[in-house]
Amino acid sequence: MNNAISVRHEKTLLIRPEFLNHGGTVFGGYMMQWADDMAYNAASLAFPSAGFVTKLFGQFDFKAPVRGGDIVKIYSEVESRGTTSCKIQVWAINARTQAEVFRTFAVMVNVRDGKKVRLDEPLWNREGGFP
Ligand SMILES: CC(C)(COP(=O)(O)OP(=O)(O)OC[C@H]1O[C@@H](n2cnc3c(N)ncnc32)[C@H](O)[C@@H]1OP(=O)(O)O)[C@@H](O)C(=O)NCCC(=O)NCCS
């Protein structure tokens, strides 16, 4: 994979009661959904003509608890591109404690009619920025 120009995306979430398990911390599955959204967003904004599906995620190791009322920041950034895919770093911090919650990566593949297809040049390589 080649290096790509990186743009960092950020989402700030208030942890509401509906995200909590019986122990009062966030269900990991919600974190994984938000991570998937953020990986998709970063890939799609980097390659606007692509139609991405999630091919692969790295390990989720939840290192610090997130409780009701906490504020979490989730970040994503395209790290590199291949022929049909790109690799995106995704990580989260608990903004109240600054503790890192998880750090992982995703591989998103450009798909058309169910088959992988080559990525076009990202818009920011052609024009130097997002429209
Ligand atoms: C996406 C899909 C079309 C890919 O088809 P495929 O023939 O299996 O493709 P490949 O194994 O050649 O991999 C495609 C790309 O992913 C990359 N890739 C695959 N496995 C990888 C791995 N373990 N680590 C890093 N990259 C990987 C390949 O390098 C390739 O990228 P490149 O062209 O940039 O080099 C197919 O696997 C699929 O439809 N999967 C389901 C996707 C989906 O529905 N996701 C939602 C969750 S259900």
- Ligand 1 contact, 80 CB (< 6 A): no
- The position carrying tokens 């009322």 is 69
The model's pLDDT over 12-64, given as tens digits with 9 standing for 90+, comes to 999 999 999 999 999 999 999 999 999 999 999 999 999 999 999 999 999 99
Q: What's the pLDDT tens digit per position in 99-121?
A: 999 999 999 999 999 999 999 86
Does 29 reside within a domain?
A: yes
Cα pseudo-dihedral 99, 102, 107, 110, rounded to 10: -70
53: domain CATH number is 3.10.129.10
110 lines ligand 1 (CB under 6 A): no
User: Which of 130, 129, 9 minimizes the C-alpha distance to 78?
Assistant: 9
pTM of the complete model? 0.91
Which domain, by its residues, includes 54?
Answer: 2-120
What average pLDDT score do residues 73-91 get?
Answer: 97
Number of structural domains, the chain? 1
Residue 54 Cβ < 6 Å to ligand 1: yes
Nearest Cα to Cα of residue 36 among 62, 16, 11: 11
